């Protein structure tokens, strides 16, 4: 089955994820972070991306995707992720890849950066303003997302449109 519990993921990928440090969810004066915004900000590491179309689930970036999400207190974000085992190019020149190599990069890597605002803290709604993206159709647009934060896990569901289903992306807090 594709859906794994956090502990199953931790046990299979413990080399990548440190044990949860719940002190990260405390402010400098030792109080527990209360606001969604404070819990949303931080450095997050990719856990999984699950795509669902008509009840059928798949892992479009493989079973062990890698990536980072950085959300700053100055309302900036950067998100980069990819399939972990992308084959290297036959020629050691990124500008001289084959059509198949470029297709793999387009399908198995993703990056996006810009600014954000919390649109509804109670509901976990965030507006992402896209300054740059590996999918250029999103550049200059505002994307609405709803995030769920559960301890050190950040989960977002992304509707893809055009019959491409919904991606559920899970991140683990590193800092």
Contact 128, 90 (CB under 8 A): no
Give the SS3 label for residue 104: helix
What's the pLDDT tens digit per position in 92-115?
999 999 999 999 999 999 999 999
Distance of alpha carbon 52 from alpha carbon 35, whole angstroms: 31
pLDDT value of position 172: 96
Contact 75, 115 (CB under 8 A): yes
Distance of alpha carbon 109 from alpha carbon 8, whole angstroms: 25
Above 50 in pLDDT, residue 10? Answer: no
Helix (H) or strand (E) holding 110: strand 109-120
pTM of the model: 0.79
Confidence of residue 128 (pLDDT cuts 50, 70, 90): very high
């Amino acid at each position: 089955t594709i859906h794994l519990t956090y502990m199953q993921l931790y046990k299979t990928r413990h080399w990548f994820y440190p044990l949860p440090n719940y002190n990260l969810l405390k402010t400098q004066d030792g109080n527990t972070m209360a606001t969604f915004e404070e819990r949303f900000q931080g450095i997050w590491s990719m856990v999984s991306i699950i795509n669902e179309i008509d009840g059928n689930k798949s892992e479009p970036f493989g079973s062990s995707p890698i990536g980072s999400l950085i959300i700053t207190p100055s309302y900036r974000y950067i998100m980069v992720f990819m399939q972990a085992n992308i084959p290297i190019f036959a020629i050691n020149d990124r500008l001289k890849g084959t059509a198949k190599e470029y297709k793999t990069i387009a399908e198995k890597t993703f990056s996006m950066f810009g600014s954000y605002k919390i649109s509804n803290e109670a509901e976990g709604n965030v507006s992402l303003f896209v300054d740059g993206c590996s999918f250029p159709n999103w550049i200059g647009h505002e994307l609405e997302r709803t995030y769920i934060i559960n301890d050190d896990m950040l989960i977002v569901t992304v509707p893809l449109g055009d019959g491409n289903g919904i991606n559920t992306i899970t991140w683990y807090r590193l800092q």
